[in-house]
Amino acid sequence: MTTEQLTVPRSARGKRPGRSRGHRERRRNPLAHLMLVGFGLLMLYPLIWMLGASFKESQFIFTEVSPIPNPVTLENYEQGWRGSGIGFGTYFLNSTVVAGLSVVGNMFACSLAGFAFARMEFRGRKILFAAMLATLMLPQHVLLVPQYILFSQLGWVNTFLPLVVPKFLAVDAFFVFLMVQFLRGLPRELDQAAKVDGAGPWQTYWRIILPLTMPALATTAIFTFIWTWNDFLGPILYLQDPRLYTVPLGLNAFLDASGDSAWGPMFAMAVLSLGPLFGFFLVGQKYLTSGIATTGLKG
């Protein structure tokens, strides 16, 4: 008998801790996966129910527990798309215009403001940056009345201008801060090399810095599109003509205070309205992950 066999207890001889631990982990993994799948289905149930309700006849939407429609009908989609005098395609077009211009405005203005705060030296930069961050703690509802008075005096009420123009003025401090944190992670040598080559601040921003900020720009674009597409408060404040309504206001038009609401068409159009959101998110999800992950690496 060797010295190692004498020092090791009999109960521990012949056992392989690595194998037993791996066996326990393999037994645990299927259970964890089943729990995650069950939790995911629970979270998706409202969406599944709405999808099933969009294919049900109106009298069966709230009387059947099962989300599976029986019989299946496309009448809700036909009625919803025709709308009540104004086709729902008009609402889709209006939302696309507002969301698209908002995305372009935020990407340009917030990246430009972020470049100024992160890469340029000017008097009062820290004070202005602190004031910009302080606006994040200011409730949006505090600004509703003064903003409405301002836009009313400018004659912008009942137009898309109050919803779009502020995006080109870098009013979303969250995205400015996002760009600043991302730009602080880029090496300063890029600016110095561009300056040696004779590039000014604008050329440095446009040719050197902007192409490197694609992850942060994609994050800004995705969140701006989602928030603008789902925005209900802004359009209902400034849009009075039904022909200018966006998708949330179009969905609200199916509801009737008297109780005679068109639930089937509303659910059908709600399903269609999710399509652009999912599509925009799927296209930019890889940039979204990298943009959020690298934002706070360097303060």
* pLDDT mean over 225-248: 94
pLDDT band at 249 (very low <50, low <70, confident <90, very high): very high
Closest by Cα among 165, 152, 27 to 109:
165
Task: Look up the pTM and report it.
Answer: 0.82
Question: Is pLDDT of 275 > 80?
Answer: yes
Q: How far apart are CA 102 and CA 274, in angstroms?
A: 18
Q: Which residues contact 272 (CB under 8 A, 6 or more apart)?
A: 77, 80, 88, 92
Measured over all CA atoms, what is the biggest interatomic distance in the chain, rounded to whole angstroms? Answer: 98
Mean pLDDT over the full length of the chain: 85
Q: What is the pLDDT of residues 139-191, one digit of tens each?
A: 888 889 999 999 999 999 999 999 999 999 999 999 999 999 999 988 989 88
**Confidence (pLDDT) at 251:** 92
Asked if 51 and 271 touch (Cβ cutoff 8 Å), the reply is: yes
**Confidence (pLDDT) at 38:** 87
